Amino acid sequence: MSKILVIGGGGREHAIACSFKRFGHTTFVSPGNPGMENDATVVPKMDFKETADFVKDYAIDLVFVGPEQPLADGIVDFLQARGIDVVGPTKAAARIEGSKAFAKDIMQRSGVPTAAYKVFDCLDDATSYLKSAGYPQVIKADGLAAGKGVVIAQDYDEARSALESMMRDKVFGESGSRVVIEEFLQGWETSVFAFTDGQHFVTTIFSQDHKPLLDGDKGPNTGGMGAYAPVRSAEKYRDRVEKEIFEPVLRVMREEGCEYRGVLYAGLMITEDGPKVVEFNCRFGDPETEVVLPLLDTDLFEISQAILDRRIDDIELNWGAGYAVTVVAASGGYPGKYMKNKLIQIDDGLRHRIYFAGVGRDGDGLVTAGGRVMMVTALASTLDKAREEAYEDLSRIRFEGMQFRNDIGAKDSRNL
Ligand code: AMP
Ligand code: GLY
């Protein structure tokens, strides 16, 4: 069995660690969090050099990178240059998430269906464009913004204030000095991952995130408040998603000299004209991973080896029957300034499992330490049952200020 180092510290990385553990591998997670300690060895945060040293000292067979930031910072380039097996895109390839303008350009050149768009570096030009535009318009900070850099403006006033906070007030720092303004796409959303060796790829089951904070998709956007999988009604688009989206994007990235290897996430809007790309991410989604990996019955280590050996087309992904639902328990105040250090109480009798994210330790107990605190995940034979059981488990969890959505996985039951 192999030794794996997972980089990251959220619910996604907890689910990744559990996926490796399920197939008998030993997993280390850095920086991890205290909620993962039963499933993996938690290693304090390391810089790239310390990570490389750790890999040598502990004879780690594989590094798997969870979040976008270390990928955008070039962790894969650094470790690869030292002969370390690492799954994830290089810094150049990770721009598909790190710069929305880059992603749109690649999509345009590869003919991938996506919203029409314009890129602006200057507030005045963007403002005058928006004066004469039709509404709604979608305004996006170019760089990384933890899933929060998108505003759907219903009129010019909203659009202008979004622009001003991104470009002038720099609420997302340098990520907002450039903005992408794009057409509003009507439809329903789903996401899918591809495991790719740069040339070939295999796609996972479809899942669905719930980004707005409140029930009925109301309130501000978050990093994701819950997810379910599989989304059966998306299956009929799989062929098109593979041929019209993943295949051309990977080809153009190869041709551009920034071959993409690792996990590529496509966030899709299913429109009247078929699937269109809302965004690419250079990694697994969070919280989608918490519903996709528990259903994956193929060893993630074997998949990783196939990515590294450029034989991903030899891999067949096997999926468990049934459905998974994950509900995020978030801190009071999230996605704005949120409460911290609140004691987490978990009653006995949980039927399923929790993936921990923003938690810390205080004495023997766990306390809240982040915006999204944990993901309560249930697996069951039907979507309704999985949802019921996830909420039943959630009712056994308490911390001051806890927020969650009541309708994860509810709106699409009709499609199944
Ligand atoms: P992103 O961070 O790009 O995934 O955007 C966050 C959320 O904003 C998406 O999940 C969509 O719900 C919404 N969104 C982004 N772009 C568009 C668009 N062009 N049309 C409609 N909704 C969008
Ligand atoms: N769930 C969306 C994301 O991971 O960006």
Q: What is the SS3 string spanning the chain?
A: CCEEEEEECCHHHHHHHHHHHHCCCEEEEEECCHHHCCCCEECCCCCHHHHHHHHHHCCCCEEEECCHHHHHCCHHHHHHCCCCCEECCCHHHHHHHHCHHHHHHHHHHHCCCECCEEEECCHHHHHHHHHCCCCCEEEEECCCCCCCCEEEECCHHHHHHHHHHHHHCCCCHHHHCCEEEEECCCCEEEEEEEEECCCCEEECCCEEECCEEEHHHEEEECCCCEEEECCHHHHHHHHHHHHHHHHHHHHHHHHCCCCCCEEEEEEEEEECCEEEEEEEECCCCCCCHHHHHHHECCCHHHHHHHHHCCCHHHCCCCECCCEEEEEEEECCCCCCCCCCCCECEECCCCCCEEEECCEEEECCEEEECCCEEEEEEEEECCHHHHHHHHHHHHCCEECCCCECCCCCCCCCHHHC
Q: Is the pLDDT of residue 415 over 70?
A: no
Q: Is the pLDDT of residue 413 over 60?
A: no
pLDDT value at residue 416: 44
pLDDT value at residue 30: 98
Q: Is the pLDDT of residue 37 over 50?
A: yes
pLDDT value at residue 126: 87
- Span of 20-24, 142-146, 184-188 with lowest mean pLDDT: 142-146
Ligand 2 proximity of 285 Cβ (cutoff 6 Å): yes
Ligand 1 proximity of 147 Cβ (cutoff 6 Å): yes
Ligand 1 proximity of 267 Cβ (cutoff 6 Å): yes
Largest CA distance in the chain: 61
Ligand 2 centroid to residue 50 C-alpha, Å: 28
Q: Is the pLDDT of residue 102 over 70?
A: yes
Pocket test for ligand 1, best of 166, 209, 269, 272 (most atoms within 8 A of CB): 269
Ligand 2 proximity of 224 Cβ (cutoff 6 Å): yes
Percent of residues, the chain, with pLDDT higher than 70: 98
- pLDDT-derived band of residue 298, with 50, 70 and 90 as boundaries? very high
Half-sphere exposure of 399 (CA within 13 A, CB side): 28
More confident residue, 7 or 168: 7
Mean pLDDT of 11-34: 98
- pLDDT-derived band of residue 414, with 50, 70 and 90 as boundaries? very low
Q: Is the pLDDT of residue 318 over 80?
A: yes
Ligand 2 proximity of 209 Cβ (cutoff 6 Å): yes
Q: Is the pLDDT of residue 141 over 50?
A: yes
Ligand 1 centroid to residue 161 C-alpha, Å: 18
More confident residue, 174 or 283: 283
Q: Which atom of ligand 2 is nearest to the CA of 287?
A: 1
User: Mind listing the pLDDT tens digit for each residue in 192-246?
Assistant: 999 999 999 999 999 999 999 999 999 988 999 999 999 999 999 999 999 999 9
Here the tokens at position 83 are 């002969």
Q: Is the pLDDT of residue 114 over 60?
A: yes
User: Mind listing the pLDDT tens digit for each residue in 150-193?
Assistant: 889 999 999 998 888 888 787 777 776 788 899 999 999 999 99
Pocket test for ligand 2, best of 208, 288, 326, 355 (most atoms within 8 A of CB): 288
Looking at all shown ligands, the one closest to residue 286's CA atom is 2
Residue 59 to residue 55: CA distance in whole angstroms: 6
User: Which pTM was predicted?
Assistant: 0.94
Crossing angle of helices 300-308/11-22, nearest 10°?
A: 100
Q: Contact 29/9 with Cβ under 8 angstroms? A: yes
